[in-house]
Structure 1
Amino acid sequence: MKGLVLALACLQLAEGLVRINLKKGESIREKMRAAGVLDDYLKKIKYDPVKKYSSSKGHVVSEPITNHLDSSYFGEISLGTPPQKFSVLFDTGSSNLWVPSIDCKSPACFNHAKFKPSESDTFTPNGQSYNLSYGSGSLTVVLGSDTLKIQNITVTNQDFGLSTDEPTQPFYFADFDGILGMAYPSLAVGGIPTALQGMLQQDQLAQPIFSFYFSRQPTYEYGGELVLGGVDPRLFQGAITWAPVTQELYWQVTLDEFAIGQSVTSCCSQGCQAIVDTGTFLLTVPEEYIKGILQALGAQETSYGYAVDCSEIENMPPITFIIGGTQLPLYPSSYVLNSNGYCTLGIEVTYLPSQNGQPLWILGDVFLKEYYTIFDMAYNRVGFAPSA
């Protein structure tokens, strides 16, 4: 009955929802592999130390956790008057909004849309410069403000970054032009107001909620949907499992336990944390657990990932996450990636330390394709429901 009431409420609110169509492109990793530059790049980032930065309040926090190498879902926004269009990654693992600047001379900017301040009647320069560091690279941006539009949402005087220098690898290979961060304001470099803050302050959302649906069989034209202002009951089935955010930085929740097949691992007996990150494609595992998981799944480490026998996929066990007391299984058809007959696990080692010392997992798009995910800014919680 409770689920029925919620579904009816969602239907009543459907008129106020804003849906952004997400496209699915070839990932940066796939493009870099085809260009023959992936191996050298992976060796470089493996041995680079984790960077830190200071927020505007003087607190030191980890760099945004997003690793864009496998991210390939993006949608359209516009900035300026008249509007200048950009494809952006809607990223719950970071908080800054940026697009390339016309002044960017890096090769990575050559094949992307670039913002032209002189062609916008509403642009206001700021002059401040920041370095934005991600799990897959760093770039320099100069701040400005202008009108942000996403479908029928309009935010005036929205602060954003204009990249003046981008690393050729990996951003040259990205299908998206920039990034719209959707994590908490406390993660924003320089204390810059986030796009979501602008939407809320200017009453542009029907509810302080947004949600993601990733198609299990994505195409370039339709990879899924970002729903701003609520949830769409047509995109999920069954009840919603809610988990409170444990730290208002990333969208981070408690992972109660983790099971492979019928065997509960006890990996999280002392507590685990999981970050829900739309900007990370893979599922990431704490380093101390990776060997045991690979052994349980019969995987072998190679230079191109953790390989498994494609003929054995149907016999592999489900991986089950227990969140909010609910079992959320992930089946091999979801966590095994088949690339022209070469099968690898959609898994990598978590590349940043946990803020509180508990083992840290990242639930990326491999997981999110199976679960419609709701980000509730009013109650600081994340909801999961099986995708329709």
Structure 2
Amino acid sequence: MRKTRSEKKMPNNFLKEHAYSLYLTSSPGSNITTHPLRNIQDMVYVGNITIGTPPQEFQVAFDTVSADLWVPSIFCISPTLASHVMFNHLRSSTFRLITKTFNIVYGSGRMQGFLGRDTVRIGDLVSIDQRFGLSLELSEFEELPFDGVLGLSYPNMSFLGGIPIFDNLKNQGAISEPVFAFYLSKSKPDGSVVMFGGVDKSYYQGTLNWVPLIQARTWRVHMDRISMNSQTIACFSGCEALMDTGASLIQGPRSLVNNTLTLIGATPRGSKHYISCSAVNTLPSIDFTINGINYPLPAQTYTIKDSSGDCYIGIRENPVSESTETWTLGDVFLRQYFSVYDRGNDRIGLAQAV
């Protein structure tokens, strides 16, 4: 993501220069809160939250793989964080310090800091006394176009301990149903949303297909196979699929990804595999079969145009190897399919996005 931003010569204060108007909609009689997300170059989807009293505003990535909320502290020593908003806990009358430190390692970076509690707002949703992290040192995050991360996975995925924000919202009665959902726009900055407390049917068409989780621990489901032109190309004996709103691309095991890229006819250049843009319309769809239902990704969906106008394939090797064959279905997949995360029934819903 940093490389892409550098290629596009995107300034660090991109979000401040390209402000967007916040809007909140609740469907009549449904208690659904719809919160806007901004699509930044099809790389990441971010939304505004506030922390503290009076509120301090942050741009955060809403992430279904992690379970923690964190933002930078004003005492953060990473030198390149000047472009990020940093939380000043000294200015919040509702802040409470927790005398405990934390360390989080992601696939693309790490951070460490200290813990606190404060009032957190996602639009008109309010979580009182929410535990969150204040980073003091970060690596690999400095140039990313958001301030922090808001995790929406299960409590067992938390590095910070305590109750994650979605569970707090549910426990405090801020949402009527333990459900949230994502609609991710394609190639335009506005229109993306995360909704809490229910599902707005205007964001998808056809049937919402429910898939049970492998375990009520992560947003991970069983996938039957991955195929192209009716021939299985990966996940031959079934595998696992992780729905990840915080990942830009689709990721899988190295050998299977390389085989898929070879079948597509893509050629490596640096860390990406490219295809002639004029050939995109002739490429086959890739079908992901989940719970007996095919979810095809047309080539126009899994190819991405870079800053030079060249087209690369939005599939890459998973940087984290796992004992079982696991595919991460990131934004390349989730732009095509509206996704619902049902904590009450431990299942994921998928439908064709409008």
Q: Same fold (TM over 0.5)?
A: yes
Contact 1:132 1:141 in 2 (8 A): no
Matched ranges for 1:363-382 at <5 A: 363-382=329-348
Write the distance in 2 (CA, Å) between the matches of 1:325 and 1:108. 48
Matched ranges for 1:287-306 at <5 A: 287-306=254-273
Shift of 1:26: 4.4
Shift of 1:146: 0.4
Amino acid in the other structure paired with 1:191: G
Shift of 1:132: 1.0
Matched ranges for 1:99-248 at <5 A: 99-167=71-139, 170-219=140-189, 222-248=190-216
Shift of 1:14: 6.0
Q: Which runs of 5+ in 1 are unaligned?
A: 1-10, 28-70
2:292 maps to 1:325: yes
Amino acid in the other structure paired with 1:308: I
Shift of 1:99: 0.5
Shift of 1:109: 2.4
Shift of 1:239: 0.2
Contact 1:82 1:121 in 2 (8 A): yes
Partner of 1:176, secondary structure, is coil
Contact 1:13 1:230 in 2 (8 A): no
Write the distance in 1 (CA, Å) between the matches of 2:248 and 2:228. 21
User: Residues 248 and 200 (structure 1 numbering): CA distance in 2 closer, same or farther, change over 3 Å?
Assistant: same
Aligned to 1:307: 274
2:33 maps to 1:18: yes
Aligned to 1:341: 309
Instruction: Work out the percentage of aligned pairs sharing the same amino acid.
Output: 34
User: Residues 194 and 108 (structure 1 numbering): CA distance in 2 closer, same or farther, change over 3 Å?
Assistant: farther
2:283 maps to 1:316: yes
Amino acid in the other structure paired with 2:268: E
Partner of 2:85, secondary structure, is coil
Contact 2:226 2:235 in 1 (8 A): yes
Write the distance in 1 (CA, Å) between the matches of 2:37 and 2:29. 19
Contact 2:208 2:350 in 1 (8 A): yes
Write the distance in 2 (CA, Å) between the matches of 1:179 and 1:301. 31
* Residues paired across the two proteins, number: 328
Write the distance in 2 (CA, Å) between the matches of 1:302 and 1:223. 33
Write the distance in 1 (CA, Å) between the matches of 2:256 and 2:314. 15
Write the distance in 2 (CA, Å) between the matches of 1:25 and 1:264. 33
Superposition RMSD on alpha carbons, in Å?
Answer: 1.6
Deviations 1:264-308 (A, max 9, x none): 33x334220000000001011222312221121001122040111
Greater shift in the superposed pair: 345-354 or 272-281: 345-354
Instruction: Output the TM-score relative to the length of structure 2.
Output: 0.89
Contact 2:62 2:246 in 1 (8 A): yes
